[in-house]
Amino acid sequence: MSSLAERRAAFRMLHQSGCFVLPNPWDGGSAIRLARLGFKAIASTSAGAAWALGRADGEMTVEEVLNHLRFLVGITDLPVNADFEAGFADTPEGVATNVARCIETGVAGLSIEDRAGRGLYPLEEAAKRVRAARDAIDRSGQDVLLVGRCEAFWMGQPDLQMTLARLAAYSRAGADCLYAPGIRDLATLGRLVRALDKPVNANLSGTGLSVAELADVGVRRISVGAALARATWSAFEGFAERLWTQGRLPA
């Protein structure tokens, strides 16, 4: 089994050039299957993990998330990027405390988003939260990659200039990678990549685009969020409904 240091170094190397796919398992079985297929790293999904516990996205406690991350880190040799939501704290100091705990789970990377309830944290405060995460990583002495996320498009605020300003601020605050989920237009993603000075993550789900197309505009890494979990639950519900209503399963 590879050491955590080796996994973290390999994960950082993936961000140096080219483009790689970072799929999102939600339990041990999905993580193992993705590893067997040959993916080089995986990322947690807050929604998928919550659904597996019978919860809605955002309803897991920080303790449950940390336990889930420990499990994912232990189930394969792949580097794990943590969907760490908004750091599970109201203050930058609280974010730093929780990021330190997240690092201890063995993750190779973690993301901090700027969502505050149904809106966004003010830019200055959001940047301070990313800086707090950066400082916690630096104090740990561990090579953990930090992702700064702007949730504007996700939250119904599809303002590219605002998103760019926020991501640039998160870059200055110490983020190693930048991510604005919810952008589905290839040209817009290309503008994002060209305007920023750090590797950019894009979410493939709901775009109708291909990995090759995203790679062509300079996207460095590609995730799918809860898409794999959603597809699995959809298939499950279809089978279960047929069993209930027809007393049979598909052949």
Q: What is the CATH number of the domain that holds 228?
A: 3.20.20.60
36 occurs within a structural domain? yes
pLDDT value, residue 144: 98
Q: pLDDT per residue over 203-238, tens digit each?
A: 999 999 999 999 999 999 999 999 999 999 999 999
CB 183 within 8 A of CB 189: yes
Q: Give me the mean pLDDT over the 95-102 stretch.
A: 98
Angle CA 26–27–33, to nearest 5: 95
CB atoms within 10 A of CB 48: 24
The reported pTM is 0.96
Rounded to a whole number of angstroms, the CA Rg of the chain reads 18
d(CA 203, CA 216): 15
CB 162 within 8 A of CB 195: no
d(CA 228, CA 203): 12
Which residue type occupies 68?
H
- List 83's β-bridge partners, or say none: 111
d(CA 88, CA 223): 22
Report the DSSP pairing between strands 80-83 and 119-120.
unpaired
Task: Give the containing element (helix H, strand E) for 178.
Answer: strand 177-179
pLDDT value, residue 60: 97
CB 35 within 8 A of CB 236: no
135 occurs within a structural domain? yes
190 occurs within a structural domain? yes
Among the listed residues 184, 183, 192, the one whose alpha carbon sits nearest the alpha carbon of residue 220: 192
Rounded-to-5 percentages of helix, strand, coil across the chain: 50, 15, 40
16 occurs within a structural domain? yes
229 occurs within a structural domain? yes
Total domains in the fold of the chain? 1
196 occurs within a structural domain? yes
pLDDT value, residue 1: 66
251 occurs within a structural domain? no
- List 41's β-bridge partners, or say none: none
Domain that holds residue 50: 4-246
pLDDT value, residue 106: 98
- What's the mean pLDDT when you consider all of the chain? 97
d(CA 199, CA 132): 20
Q: pLDDT per residue over 67-80, tens digit each?
A: 999 999 999 999 99
